[in-house]
């Protein structure tokens, strides 16, 4: 008999139908005469209740139906007596496919800490919380591709291994096949990378943007969606050494087009989650409320679903860096010395505390900051007419801070080359990049969205290690 | 005035409408009084013809509208006099956004070799051939996600950096932040990886399968879609050091379910290309025909579109390895000594020449080979009742050979552990993997599809380096 997914049964199963389900036991309760087994097959949050008359099954089978065991159950769907679900299954045949010894199986039906589950990341997807998170993550992946496909943006797989080290986005991991013992060296005693696999020194990419620009200047509108890497010793709840980024790039676009695209994109993703992940979001919203019920009211977060709907429905605030500095300088926390990093004036690099003040206290909305000082931004950002700011933008969200960073790119060959000289970027090595300005150059713009930060915002999970299946961080590379 | 995409104009532009387009000059021809400029903006293969009365524009502007230059053109759509397209644009305003000096711009309107374009991979996406290939690649990415989403498979991002070295799928790249000079060493003089970024020795993943299995045993049905790596010194037209793989994994599935899924998946992708990439496929089909017109008839390939339709419409042939060996042993080329590697009997590892014989000569259809000798396959494949074969499958396609490799996984704890011991796989390090058999284990199966091989098949591009934007291979890591 062909297996039916529990998701399908809960959506549209009809009493009287004979079905086979396969899945895992979440809980079992019951009396001497009847057992109620909550079965889950991962396709949705909801369990299907299996009703088993104790007399109809041999003792061993029912003894083995403990939390975590894999079962195949055949029987008839019947109208459910309990609340919540319309049908349950009256078991005719139960086969234990795999047991889960309650003395040894780590995922028991009780509240485990997130830390404990992180150590058991190979099993944590079997919990309600993590299966909800990863189903939502999937929905967001699909929504990213759907959004861009419908707008005629083409997905480009930019390289993971790169010889370019000029992007300046952060510390890099070396990729090599050279041995540490008897490393080949040249006459000067330096490592001879010409004997490395790629014939040169190579690293893991920190961003697909520069290659993305090449593609945008050919296909018009592109986006990347791939892993990026930072070898930074940041052991925080906001950083990963390996994380996924989405980087759209548009030819013939300026900073305003860029902001419009980013705002539309974020709202689309959030609305998509609200429309398609309701059950999982409701669960996570309840989870958050329970977690925070002992906190003072002012420290509690907005209800997860209300928060998402609020962001999807309201315009983001747009203001320049210079305007933001004015607001911050004159703000109460700055005047009262409450900021760890006092805001003095133009040129100050904004810290998380400043971003949070703007988003959470001042505007109570997502904020797009634009036109940052040229000195604190990358070489490829377009210089504004004031000659001291660049056409950059950061989008700041409540709780998570910067979720998007982008800019209009410097398309003027002479300005770009002068900037590269000034910042010590090797022009010869980057000749391929400069070619897009030598030949058929045009205004263009793009941004990067940290995918895990998005998922963190959408699910309300506070630690970024809980929204990627197998997190990589300093001293952390399990599974 | 808001820009309109050329794709939209060619689909549904109406004469009389005033539009602005932005794109690049593909060609220019004309007389003293009128210039015809073919404009392309990357959104589709087709060009929009711009008609410019020479008298209406200054000389410099028209002089600068050379191949590769970026233009903004405003004007009225008018019914096209020429064939092929319904509308063209009567230019009222032309702005040159970026020039492309014909003396220096490498991509001139003539036939360039694929080798030349590979060296100019940063610009090759501006040609008809490569823009078609990468638009099709995008369509295939979207189709992969659509297919699995509709079937309730969840996309899982498995890790790129891994400390697991037991998969045995091939040579690996080391990922490290340790220096080659003054490398930290322990008392025995060995490299002290506890001081490396992750506190242990780490590599780039060769497959997401093992982690995918963990997810499937929680979410039921999953797929990965990410980059994988091989540090193998294979400088061929079929191998890349960095390539993308799709790896679905299903709980509660056997080898037959696996074959059914893989065949349905491949046909879906190919039909999706036929339905959605017609213009680009027609172009590539013509390109292939022209390429092969001087070849003897029997060496020419089937027309690209006919080939795709044939694969989408016909059942794949399914046979066991043992049956295939019988056929090969008794085949003409084997008897006449035409195979470089003679087929002697059970245990022979099939070579490309054997696979091609089965697919292209014997069956003239895609072939699924199953039940390979256990000795030549990986430790995780399920041992058959004969105790000498495993429930493996390879799907073989014409021209490209193996496009899919998969298996039912060994779910029996004792059999798996014995196999790991036998093959020297360290069980302690892989304890997380074995846990899926210890707790709630169940039959499950999955496969891997090499994405570039698929794109190679769909586009007819013979060299795999021409279907990924920036190929990585031995001594090749540009851009």
B455 confidence band (pLDDT: 50, 70, 90): very high
What pLDDT score was predicted for residue B81?
79
Q: Are residues B139 and B81 in the same domain?
A: no
- Give yes or no: residues B33 and B151 share one domain: no
Q: How confident is the model at residue B164 (pLDDT cuts 50, 70, 90)?
A: confident
A431 in the same domain as A289: yes
Among B124, B175, B441, the strongest candidate for a mutation testing the A interface, having the largest count of A CBs within 10 A, is B175
CA distances from B168 to B24, B210, B380, B419 (A): 47, 12, 11, 14
Rounded to two decimals, what is the model's pTM?
0.97
Same domain, B40 and B153: no
Residue A331 forms part of a structural domain: no
Which tens digit of pLDDT belongs to each residue from B284-307?
Answer: 999 999 999 999 988 888 999 999
Same structural domain, B281 and B150: yes
Give A474's contacts in chain B (Cβ within 8 Å). 197-199
- Cβ contact A477–B202 (<8 Å): yes
Question: Looking at the predicted structure, is the pLDDT value of residue B84 above 90?
Answer: no
Average pLDDT over all residues of chain B: 95
Residue B358 confidence (pLDDT) = 96
pLDDT score at A299:
84
In angstroms, rounded to a whole number, what is the distance separating the alpha carbons of residues B99 and B83?
A: 29
Contact B43 A219 (CB under 8 A): yes
At B317-332, the pLDDT tens digits run: 999 999 999 999 999 9
Q: Is residue B188 a part of any domain in this protein?
A: no
Domain count, chain B: 2
Domain boundary among B104, B135, B153: B104
Tell me the chain A residues in contact with residue B154 when contact means C-beta distances shorter than 8 Å.
Answer: 42, 134-135, 137-138
Query: Has residue B38 been placed in a domain?
Result: yes
Q: What is the mean pLDDT of residues B61-76?
A: 97
Mean pLDDT for B158-162 is: 97
Q: Using 50, 70 and 90 to split pLDDT, how confident is the model at B390?
A: very high
Residue A20 belongs to a domain with what CATH number? 2.40.50.140
User: pLDDT class for B166, splitting at 50, 70, 90?
Assistant: low
Instruction: Return the pLDDT at B83.
Output: 66
Q: Which of B68, B432, B439 shows the shortest C-beta gap to A105?
A: B439
Question: CB distance A161–B229 less than 8 Å?
Answer: yes
Residues B71 and B166 in one domain: no
The answer to whether residues A39 and A132 belong to one domain is no
Q: How large is the angle between the packed helices A304-313 and A255-276, nearest 10 degrees? A: 140
What residues of A are in contact with residue B476 (Cβ under 8 Å)?
A: 198-199
Q: For B7, which of A72, A152, A244 is closest by C-beta distance?
A: A152
The residues, ordered by sequence, that sit 6+ positions from A141 with a Cβ below 8 Å of its Cβ are A225, B145, B155
ipTM, two decimals = 0.97
Residue A373 lies in a domain: yes
Residues A100 and A130 in one domain: no
According to the model, what pLDDT value does residue A81 have?
Answer: 79
Cβ neighbours of residue B189 under 8 Å, at least 6 residues apart?
A: none
- The pLDDT value given to residue B167: 61
Residue B22 has pLDDT above 90, yes or no: yes
pLDDT category at B169 given cuts 50, 70, 90 is low
Helix (H) or strand (E) holding B243: strand B242-251
- Which parts of chain A register pLDDT below 70? 83, 165-169
In a domain, A149, yes or no: yes
B48, B69, B104 — which closes off a domain?
Answer: B104
Residues B80 and B225 occupy one common structural domain: no
pLDDT of residue B168: 64
Tell me which residue has tokens 């088993």.
A52
Residue B272, pLDDT > 80, answer: yes
How far B41 CA lies from chain A's nearest CA (Å)? 6
Instruction: Quote the tokens at residue B355.
Output: 């696979």
Percent of chain B with pLDDT strictly greater than 70: 99
DSSP string covering A345-405: STTPPPPHHHHHIIIIIIISS-EEEEEEEGGGS-TTBPBPTTSSEEEEEEEEETTTEEEEE
**pLDDT at residue B252 tops 70:** yes
Q: What CATH number should be reported for the domain holding residue B153? A: 3.30.930.10
Inside any domain, residue A339: no
A261-267 CB contacts, 8 Å cutoff, 24+ apart: A261/A447, A262/A368, A262/A393, A262/A395, A262/A404, A262/A406, A262/A447, A262/A449, A263/A315, A263/A316, A263/A368, A263/A395, A265/A147, A265/A449, A266/A311, A266/A366, A266/A395, A266/A403, A266/A404, A266/A449, A266/A454, A267/A311, A267/A312
Render pLDDT for A320-335 as a digit per residue (tens, 0 to 9).
999 999 999 999 999 9
Could you say which of A138, A436, A470 has the minimum Cβ distance to residue B159? A470
Q: In this predicted structure, what is the pLDDT of residue A166?
A: 60
On whether residue A252 sits in a domain, the answer given is yes
Min CA distance, A228 vs chain B (Å)? Answer: 10
In a domain, B344, yes or no: no
Mean pLDDT in chain A? 95
Mutate to test the interface with B, among A117, A151, A186, A439 (most CBs of B within 10 A): A439
Whether B471 shows a pLDDT value over 90: the answer reads yes
Q: Does A426 lie in the same domain as A283?
A: yes
B25 with B130, same domain?
A: no
Residues A242 and A373 in one domain: yes
Residue of B141, B219, B434 to mutate for A, most A C-beta atoms under 10 A? B219
Query: What is the pLDDT, as a whole number, of residue B363?
Result: 97
Q: How far is A413 from chain B (nearest CA, A)?
A: 10
Whether residues A178 and B178 touch (CB distance < 8 A) is answered with: no
**Res A170: pLDDT:** 75
Q: Do A215 and B134 touch (CB under 8 A)?
A: yes
Name the residue range of residue B66's domain.
Answer: 6-104
Q: What is the mean pLDDT of residues B191-195?
A: 97
For A436, residues 6+ apart whose C-beta sits below 8 A from its C-beta are A213, A214, A217, B122
């Amino acid at each position: 008999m062909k297996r039916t997914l529990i998701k399908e049964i809960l959506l549209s199963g009809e009493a009287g139908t004979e079905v086979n389900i396969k899945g895992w036991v979440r809980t079992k309760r019951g009396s001497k005469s009847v057992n109620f087994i909550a079965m889950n097959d991962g396709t949705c949050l909801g369990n299907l209740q299996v009703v088993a008359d104790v007399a109809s099954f041999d003792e061993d089978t029912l003894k083995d139906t403990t939390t975590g065991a894999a079962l195949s159950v055949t029987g008839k769907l019947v109208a459910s007596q309990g609340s919540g679900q319309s049908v349950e299954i009256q078991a005719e045949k139960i086969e234990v496919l795999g047991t889960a010894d309650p003395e040894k199986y780590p995922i028991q039906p009780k509240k485990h800490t997130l830390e404990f589950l992180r150590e058991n990341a190979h099993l944590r997807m079997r919990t309600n919380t993590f299966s909800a998170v990863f189903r939502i993550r999937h929905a967001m992946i699909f929504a990213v591709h759907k959004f861009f496909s419908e707008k005629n943006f083409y997905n480009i797989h930019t390289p993971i291994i790169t010889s370019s080290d000029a992007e300046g986005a952060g510390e890099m991991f070396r990729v090599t096949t050279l041995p540490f013992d008897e490393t080949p060296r040249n006459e000067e005693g330096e490592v001879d990378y010409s004997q490395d696999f790629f014939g040169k020194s190579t690293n893991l990419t920190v961003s697909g943007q520069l290659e993305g620009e090449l593609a945008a200047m050919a296909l018009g509108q592109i986006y990347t969606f791939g892993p990026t890497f930072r070898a930074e010793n940041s052991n925080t709840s906001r950083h990963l050494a390996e994380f996924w980024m989405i980087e759209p790039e548009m030819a013939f676009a300026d900073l305003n087009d860029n902001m419009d695209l980013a705002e539309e994109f974020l709202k689309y993703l959030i609305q998509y989650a609200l429309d398609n992940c309701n059950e999982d979001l409701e669960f996570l919203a309840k989870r958050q409320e329970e977690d925070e019920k002992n906190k003072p009211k002012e420290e509690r977060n907005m209800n997860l679903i209300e928060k998402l709907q609020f962001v999807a429905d309201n315009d983001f605030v747009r203001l320049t860096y210079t305007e933001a500095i004015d607001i911050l300088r004159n703000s109460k926390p700055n005047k009262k010395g409450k900021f760890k990093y006092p805001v003095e004036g133009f040129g100050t690099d904004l810290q998380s505390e400043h971003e949070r003040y703007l988003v959470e206290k001042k505007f109570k909305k997502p904020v797009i900051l634009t036109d940052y000082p040229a000195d604190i931004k990358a070489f490829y950002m377009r210089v504004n007419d004031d000659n001291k700011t660049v056409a950059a933008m950061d989008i700041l969200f409540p709780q998570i801070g910067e979720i998007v960073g982008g800019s209009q790119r410097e398309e003027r060959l002479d300005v770009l080359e002068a900037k590269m000289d000034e910042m010590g970027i090797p022009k010869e090595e980057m000749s391929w990049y400069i070619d897009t300005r030598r030949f058929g150059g045009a205004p263009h713009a793009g941004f990067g969205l940290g995918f895990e930060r998005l998922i963190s915002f959408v699910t309300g999970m506070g630690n970024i290690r809980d929204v990627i299946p197998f997190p990589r961080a300093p001293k952390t590379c399990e599974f």
